[in-house]
Amino acid sequence: MVRRRRARWGAAAATAVLVLAGCGGGDSGASGGSSGPVTLNVGVLPVADVAPLYIGVQQGFFKQAGLTVKPKLMQGGAEVTAAVVSGDLDIGFSSVEPLLIARSKDLPIQILSQGVQAAPSVDASWDGLVVTANGPIKSPKDLEGKTIAVNALANMNELAIRTVLSRDGVDVKKIKFLEVPFPDMPAAVAGGRVDAATAVEPFVSVSEASGGRKLLSFFAGLQPKMTIATYFAMKPYIEKHGDVAKRFVTAMNKSLAYAQDHPDAVRKVIGTYTKIKPAIAQKMRLPYWSASRNRPSIELTARAAQRFGYTKDKVDTSQLIWSGAQAG
């Protein structure tokens, strides 16, 4: 399955060569001068992580920056990344790991702003490896020989759970990973299709409401406040539309801060782009947001990606992060 995922990246790399040779890295929305009003197509996922983007639209932060943001819902970070590479999207939201893979294949992708971070503590974690409450899995060691659902194969969730379980002495070579969309994870666990699932909110709460139990945190349990996902674009696009990129980062940073300080607004907006029930949205643990990209945690992910063979060599993260963004 991992080989199949890498084949997808081979196709994405081929697409990137054509795109970069033909039109400078994709330019689907910000045509013409970059100092005036611009419409941006932004790829996102149907999870709580991206609530700040929707809140930023509602609060007018992007409008104030002369930007019209059009979110495009997709299934996983690799799909978003491929769409940005091909020029179908201007900006994408993705976990760090697919961006590292893309960069290792010489795709000129750069991180613009923070997307979402792990919780400050395990107790406050919004991620969770969920299992059936009364099932046979009582400890991480019980996962050997079992099947774990991830929203996309060889992605950030899989990388994080491999790292955490290996640290706990689990032989991760004995674990099978199965691709299951986030919204389908609670039912997959409850129905026995998988033994565990790497869920994030709101689907951790959905699983708990349907007889699931959180065994551990694979993000906060790896490193509190670590950078999980970011907003990114192609380097040629950024170089051509530097002013647009800066305006996006400014508006995004305002949106992240507002979301962190206004949990009620977050709970309300989540229902506009997910199918989560209001009752669950009111109880779920919310993600952690700030403008800081937490560079050391991106380095941690880069080392883990090399360790588990996601990238052949460790990616130079100084080339991955856009220098024009001010947050550290």
Q: Compute the half-sphere exposure of residue 250: CA atoms within 13 Å on the CB side of its CA.
A: 14
Q: Domain 127-216 falls in which CATH fold?
A: D-Maltodextrin-Binding Protein; domain 2 (3.40.190)
Strand partners, 147: 176
What is the C-alpha separation between 95 and 299, in angstroms, rounded? 14
Strand partners, 42: 71, 91
Q: Which pLDDT score is estimated for 20?
A: 38
What is the C-alpha separation between 15 and 32, in angstroms, rounded? 24
Structure tokens at 72: 């495009």
- In order along its 328 residues, the chain shows pLDDT tens digits of 344 444 444 444 434 433 333 333 444 444 434 668 999 999 999 888 999 999 999 999 999 999 999 999 997 777 898 899 999 999 999 999 989 999 999 999 999 999 999 999 999 999 999 999 999 999 999 999 999 999 888 889 999 999 999 999 999 999 999 999 998 999 999 999 999 999 998 899 999 999 999 999 999 999 999 999 999 999 999 999 999 999 999 999 999 999 999 999 999 999 999 888 888 889 889 999 999 989 999 999 999 999 999 999 999 998 999 988 655 4
Q: Which pLDDT score is estimated for 323?
A: 86
pTM confidence score: 0.84
Going by C-alpha positions, the residue among 149, 147, 94, 153 that lies closest to residue 310 is 153
Q: What is the DSSP string of 31-82?
A: -S-SSS-EEEEEEE-SSGGGHHHHHHHHHTHHHHTTEEEEEEE-S-HHHHHH
Same fold, 2-118+227-320 and 127-216: yes
Ramachandran area for residue 225 (φ above 0: left; ψ -120 to 50: alpha; else beta): left
Q: What are the extents of the domains in the chain?
A: 2-118+227-320, 127-216
Q: Which pLDDT score is estimated for 24?
A: 38
CB neighbour class for 135 (10 Å; exposed up to 12, middle 13-18, buried from 19) = middle
Q: Considering the domain 2-118+227-320, what is its CATH architecture?
A: 3-Layer(aba) Sandwich (3.40)
